[in-house]
């Protein structure tokens, strides 16, 4: 059967986008700090959200818009990688090891991104995989290796695997479609 999706009304779109942005914006902003530092994170977030509004029809239909927009902001922003990240003391976090940030920045790119997005920004593996353009299983490997390297450098112990993994969303078989099948 041939079906088509009607375009969303403008006012409805604006309201939906505002709700969406309220939820996604803080997470994107935080995620970009790990990529380009605090000085460029605002620009990257603004680029990503501007793109999201310009392509709202597409974004609103995405299963995983957060990870996708993270990549959009990266490509739309000519940011300097590894921008400034404040020391934990600057943020009033005395319990956080001062060496954590230098150790994080010393990780290989993929491991650093995976560890940052999953454990500092609470991305799911699926969101992180979309953001990095890799599979969820690859994210798990990078996270595991990155955490191992951080603990080796900072002298921590390795907890159970169950505590290192974030909650993973169950796979669903439903696929919304606007077209027909044979």
Partner 1 sequence: MSPNLDVIDQLSQYGNRVGDGVKPVRAADVLRTATTSASRNELHPVTTQPADIEEHEAYVTPLPARRPPAPWLGIAAGVLVVALVGGAITVARGGDGGLGTGSDDSVVSTLATSVVDDPPTLGDCPGCEWYGLPTDDAIAKAEAEGREWRIAHEDGEDFTLALDLRDRRVDFWITNGIVTFVHIESLSAAYDPDYLPEGVQNLDDTGYLGLTLNDAMYQSGQDGLTTCEVTQPNGQTPAIHCEPPAGDDELHLYVDEAGLVIAIARR
Q: Which residues 33-72 are close enough to bind partner 1 by CB under 8 A? A: 33-34, 38, 41-43, 45-47, 49-50, 52-54, 57-58, 60-63, 68
* Tokens 């934990």 belong to residue: 88
The count of residues interacting with partner 1 (CB under 8 A) is 85
Q: Which of 132, 133, 118 is nearest to 167 (CA)?
A: 118
Whole-number minimum distance, CB 123 to partner 1, in Å?
A: 10
> Measured from the CB atom, is 106 or 154 closer to partner 1?
154
Cα gap 84→77, rounded to integer Å: 16
Residue 156 touching partner 1 (CB under 8 A): yes
Residue 170 touching partner 1 (CB under 8 A): no
Whole-number minimum distance, CB 75 to partner 1, in Å?
A: 14
Q: Which of 11, 12, 155, 167 binds partner 1 (CB under 8 A)?
A: 155
Q: Which of 74, 112, 129, 131 binds partner 1 (CB under 8 A)?
A: 129
8 A C-beta contact, residue 100 and residue 154? yes
Residue 96 touching partner 1 (CB under 8 A): yes
Residue 140 touching partner 1 (CB under 8 A): yes
Exposure b/e, 111-134, CB count within 10 A at least 16 = b: bbbbbbbbbebebbbbbbbbbbeb
8 A C-beta contact, residue 155 and residue 99? no
DSSP 51: H
Cα gap 63→43, rounded to integer Å: 25
Whole-number minimum distance, CB 104 to partner 1, in Å?
A: 8
């Amino acid at each position: 059967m041939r079906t088509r999706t009607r375009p969303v009304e403008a006012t409805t779109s604006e309201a939906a986008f505002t709700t969406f942005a309220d939820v996604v914006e803080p997470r994107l902003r935080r995620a970009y700090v790990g990529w380009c530092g605090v000085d460029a994170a605002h620009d990257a977030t603004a680029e990503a959200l501007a793109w999201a509004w310009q392509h709202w029809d597409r974004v609103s239909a995405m299963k995983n818009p957060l990870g996708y927009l993270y990549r959009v902001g990266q490509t739309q922003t000519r940011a300097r990688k590894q921008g400034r990240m404040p020391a934990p003391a600057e943020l009033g976090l005395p319990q956080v090891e001062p060496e954590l940030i230098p150790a994080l920045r010393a990780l290989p790119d993929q491991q650093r991104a995976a560890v940052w997005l999953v454990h500092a920004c609470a991305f799911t593996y699926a969101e992180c995989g979309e953001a990095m353009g890799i599979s969820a299983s690859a994210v798990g490997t990078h996270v595991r290796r990155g955490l191992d390297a951080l603990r080796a450098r900072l002298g921590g112990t390795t907890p159970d695997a169950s505590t290192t993994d974030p909650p993973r969303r169950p796979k669903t078989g439903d696929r919304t479609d606007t077209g027909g099948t044979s």
